[in-house]
Amino acid sequence: MESHPVEKDMPSHKGIELELHELSLLAPSGYFVGLHIRFTSPLMTFQTYDQAWTDRYTEQGYAMRDPMVAWGFSTVGSTRWSKMGVPDTFGILKQAASYGLVYGVAVACGPVSSRTIAGAARADREFTDPEITKVDAIINRLHTTTTPPDSLTTAQIEALRLIAAGDRHTAAAAKLGISESALKARLNSGRLRLMARTTAEAIQRAKDYRLI
C-alpha cells in the first residue's frame, strides 16, 4: 500500500475563512484585503465592499490613486482613514462614503516587496482603538499564514512541471514511474503548500514564485 505525504503545517482555507469572518463582524460596511502584493499584484484578494463601489473603483482605475494604497506602501501599522494624512486628490474616500464606506481603518504589514494592505469600513462611527487593534491582529495573522513557500519538494516540482507541460495524469505518472494515485497525492501536497484551490492555480503560483 502506498503512503502519501500530508502537509500538516500549511494553513487551511477554513482557517483563513474564520479570520475573514471575524473581520466581517468588525467591518459592517465591508473590507478589502490584498495579501502579499508583489509587482502590484496580490497573492490573494478578499473583499466584501458594496459591489457597486467595487465596480466603480475598478472601472475608474482607483487602485493606483487610492490614498489608502499609497499610505500602505509608505508605512507599516494601522490607522483610521481620517488620520492617514495622504492627499486624496481624486476624492476617492468621499466617493466611497456614498456607498456606506464612511469610516475606515487601514492596515499595512510585511516588507515592501511582499506587502499586505487592508481596509475595513463602517457607516455609523469611527473605529475604536480596541477594534483597530483586533483588525490589525487579524490582518497580520493572515499575512503570516499565507506567506508563500520558499521551495517545493522535488516530487512536487516534477509532478507540477509535467502537468504544466500538458501531460495528463496517466502519462505524467508513467513518466515518473509511479501510480496515478501517487501522482495525485504529489499534486495535492503541492497545491496545499501553495495554498491553491486547484492544480492550475498551484502551477501558476509556482511559476510566479519561480519554484518550477
Q: Which CATH architecture has domain 154-208?
A: Orthogonal Bundle (1.10)
Domain residue spans of the chain: 13-145, 154-208
How many residues does the structure list for the chain? 212
- For 126-152, give the secondary structure using H, E and C: CCCHHHHHHHHHHHHHHHHHCCCCCCC
Phi, psi of 95 (to 5 degrees): -65, -40
pLDDT at 205: 86
Tell me, what amino acid is at 47? Q
pLDDT per position as a tens digit, 137-148: 999 999 998 888
Question: Measured between alpha carbons, how far is 44 from 90 in angstroms, rounded to an integer?
Answer: 26
Answer whether 51's CB lies under 8 Å from 100's CB. Answer: no
pTM of the model: 0.77
Based on its alpha-carbon atoms, the radius of gyration of the chain, rounded to whole angstroms, reads 20
pLDDT at 43: 84
Regions in the chain scoring below 50 on pLDDT? 1-11
pLDDT at 12: 56
Choosing among 3.40.50.720, 3.30.450.80, 1.10.10.10, 3.30.930.10, the CATH entry for 13-145 is 3.30.450.80
| DSSP string for 24-47 | HHH-TTEEEEEEEEETTEEEEEEE
Question: Measured between alpha carbons, how far is 101 from 153 in angstroms, rounded to an integer?
Answer: 44
Answer whether 112's CB lies under 8 Å from 39's CB. Answer: no
